[in-house]
Amino acid sequence: MPTKIEKDAISGQMTTGHEWDGLKELNTPLPRWWLWTLYATILFSLVWVVLYPAIPGTGWKGLTGWTARGDLPAQVAGERARIEPMLARLREATPEQVAADPGLRAFALAGGRGAFAQNCAGCHGSGGQGAQGGYPSLADDDWIYGGSLEAIGHTIRHGVRAGESDEQRGLAMPAFLATGMMTAPQIADTAEWVLSLTGRSTDAAAAGRGEALFTENCASCHGERGEGNRDMGAPRLSDRIWLYGGDKASIVRSISYSRAGVMPAWATRLDPAIVNMLTVYVHSLGGGE
């Protein structure tokens, strides 16, 4: 491999003197601006390492001692101070007053969206769509305890069967089979009657027997025609919206062993302003009354 430096006859560019199988390497240096940019970035990185904690595992804190983590409390405190006047207004207002004030409502909706994502979406879904297994949809107009601002706020503050508030929502439904209040055949007949409320019964005789059983054991909470009772938290049975499944097996399971979903009382966990934000936000999802 010869090392003779010469000018290439075709391009007029000097060569490096390297040649492979008749191919000569041109000596094409990097643009000067590119080199200066490289040197500047190297210098910048050296200055950064001196000023800030940029060497993991060494304990070096830099001459300034500044860290993003250390600066976070001050940033949070500053943001908190900025929004505190609005939070104070939210604490003093009722959800109805918040909803009636355009500026306060816009602030509540923005904050409520974030609070919902952090505290509620894990059960009710990111869009409030709910999930089968005891997590009600908050985006329709089918409410167990009512969909007004007052009702939603009460449910959020005091929870459902969590044992954390004297004003909590919900009574326990009896486990009719487990307690011996009904036999398995009676429960099957009752389930058939419940199915008939939405036109899905396939056994008229069983549904006929189940009607009397339903009247005796279930109508006091769910209503004679399964219309539900919000004061007691008894779901409506005459539509096709089900928390735990509306097929016969699921209904039999509900009657036999009861269903008793639990929701925390958020008044003990969240700032009253956040509770009001959540109330207004949930009401806005589409099912608010």
Other CB atoms within 10 Å distance of the CB of residue 100: 11
pLDDT digits (tens, 9 = 90+) for 9-49: 778 888 888 888 878 888 888 899 999 999 999 999 999 99
Q: Which amino acid is at 104?
A: L
User: Residues 4, 16: contact at Cβ < 8 Å?
Assistant: no
Q: 284, 278, 279: which is closest to 117 by C-alpha?
A: 278
User: Residue 171: its pLDDT value, please?
Assistant: 82
How far, in Å, CA of 91 to CA of 103, rounded?
15
- 3-class state of residue 133 by DSSP: coil
Separation of CA 275 from chain center: 15
Low-confidence ranges of the chain (pLDDT < 70): 1-3
Which residues have C-beta within 8 Å of that of residue 165, sequence separation ≥ 6?
157, 158, 159, 265, 267, 268
What domains are defined for the chain? 71-167+267-284 (1.10.760.10), 184-257 (1.10.760.10)
**Residue 245 Rama label (left phi>0; alpha psi -120 to 50; beta):** left
